[in-house]
Amino acid sequence: MNKGKNIWIMVLLFIGVVGFLWIQLVVLPSKKQVEERYAHEQMNPLTQDFNYIAEYESEYLGDNSNTVNLFRSLPMSQDEMTFQLFPEELVVEVHYPSSLSESVHSTMTTDKDNEYGQKEDLIAHRTLLYNATAGFALIKNIDQLTFEFQDSTFDFKRSDFKSMYSNLDQLLDEDTWIQEVQQPLQNDQYVEKTFKGLAIVH
């Protein structure tokens, strides 16, 4: 009787040890990999989850923390970025602490990050178009966005984006965001033509 009981105890201990090892060696590492991959995707304008930034939708740029947090959640974000908000002029300036090229490379964590664009300029233009679209669509009263790097500055006007999309509010749907914003940005020619038509370069 005791022998049979001891066998069951050993079996249960074995199952417990195997289960513990399974969780530690398989489940938790897999979960961590998924989380790391998701975080990495948020720094790519072609793969960012719209729900990752949708919470920052606001009628006014005067909500400083909300506006800043939006741009810190967009691709090419850097910890050392600074911001200037001009509520009366309805202008937001995003200041990067590095050159455009360095800012592009700061968001690359693997050698394969060039997969969404072969040239630095193309990656930068795609990202700036995406970030400007997000800024105008989510913060309803921004009239101008300025992205300032150490070696260049780019201005974007809400009126130009309204002309391109007709209604920016319609973009605030996940499927529409993918179809109207992210999918066109996969086309390199579209990116360069659109950037040339929308960006005011200093």
In the chain, domain spans = 1-41, 44-201
In sequence order, the 6+-apart residues with CB closer than 8 A to the CB of 103 are: 76, 78, 96, 124, 149
Say what the pTM is: 0.81
Closest by Cα among 113, 111, 100, 105 to 199: 100
Asked if residues 152 and 201 have their Cβ atoms less than 8 Å apart, the reply is yes
Question: pLDDT tens-digit profile of 91-137?
Answer: 999 999 999 988 888 766 444 445 444 588 999 999 999 999 999 99
The string of pLDDT tens digits covering residues 125-144 is: 999 999 999 999 999 999 99
**pLDDT tens digits for 22-39?**
556 555 555 667 677 877
The more confident residue out of 202 and 55 is: 55
